[in-house]
A and B are shown apart, each in its own frame.
Chain A
């Protein structure tokens, strides 16, 4: 395992690469004629390993910053990120992509990576009755 400052630099380079490739794919998709479109949008609940507020803010901003993926909302109590993806073949693919980014980010943000476990089962989320906070 690399030491902390190197993990930060490594993450920045990895993220820059992801940022540029996703920009290129989204730009190519816009330019592609409609009948050959590869777009497969989906909104997926991704279990997350973030704990502190700053980690939640960072991961959701980083997801939104790469074009093609967009955080719509988070549920801290269920530890879930609701992510809209532009090219999603199946649920697992987007979940794996987001979780890889989160793993790398947490290893860069935390001095010691600590616990990276995620809830394995999706919780049953019910809508709140009246205009509650997690609406």
Chain B
């Protein structure tokens, strides 16, 4: 089969969410990532106290991701049927955990600022 193009993926996403919501989500994701990089550069160090809280939030993100996927797709744990399903089922919480950690770290950095850093 022929390879899908990048433009095709964009087209599918636009149909999936509607162009406005899709590009809004892309913008929000890009903004959070940019702010995360900003606070890292601003503070010139990883704050381990903030990182601890971020780590503690990871299971919440992981669980939320899996439950959300099951809810959206009318499916559940019992539907895992093969190795690729296990890989996806591990990948979903991994992404959820990392996304949540980045988000929590960024929010803390913005609220608390660099001054209350490491204890």
Q: Do chains A and B stick together as partners?
A: no
Interface residues, chain B, CB within 8 Å of chain A? none
